[in-house]
Amino acid sequence: MVVKIGPYISTQQSRTIMSKTNSGALAYQQQEQGYRDKALKMYPWVCGRCAREFVHSNLRELTVHHIDHNHSNNPADGSNWELLCIYCHDNEHNKFHEFVLYGGTTEQKVAPATHNPFADLKALLNNPKTK
CA 47/CA 53 separation, integer angstroms: 7
Task: Answer yes or no: is 58 within a domain.
Answer: yes
**Any idea what the CATH number is for the domain that residue 66 is in?**
3.40.1800.10
Can you give the pLDDT at residue 47? 95
Cβ atoms within 10 Å of 91's Cβ, excluding its own:
14
Compute the average pLDDT of residues 39-49: 94
Task: Answer yes or no: is 20 within a domain.
Answer: no
The pTM score is 0.56
Task: Answer yes or no: is 129 within a domain.
Answer: no
3-state secondary structure 70-121: CCCCCCCCCCCEEEEEHHHHHHHHHHHHHHHHHCCCCCCCCCCCCCCCCCCH
Which of 52 and 99 is assigned the larger pLDDT? Answer: 52
Over 80: is that where the pLDDT of 87 sits? yes
Task: Answer yes or no: is 92 within a domain.
Answer: yes
Task: Answer yes or no: is 130 within a domain.
Answer: no
Structural domain including 78 reads 39-104
- Pick from 37, 35, 33, 47: which is nearest to 79 by CA? 35
Q: Are 45 and 62 in contact (CB under 8 A)?
A: yes
Question: What pLDDT digit, counting tens, does each position of 20-29 carry?
Answer: 456 667 765 6
Compute the average pLDDT of residues 5-19: 45
Can you give the pLDDT at residue 56? 93
pLDDT interval class at 35 (50, 70, 90): confident
Task: Answer yes or no: is 13 within a domain.
Answer: no
R_g of the chain, CA atoms, integer Å: 29
Can you give the pLDDT at residue 31? 64
What's the domain count of the chain? 1
CA 65/CA 39 separation, integer angstroms: 10
Task: Answer yes or no: is 9 within a domain.
Answer: no
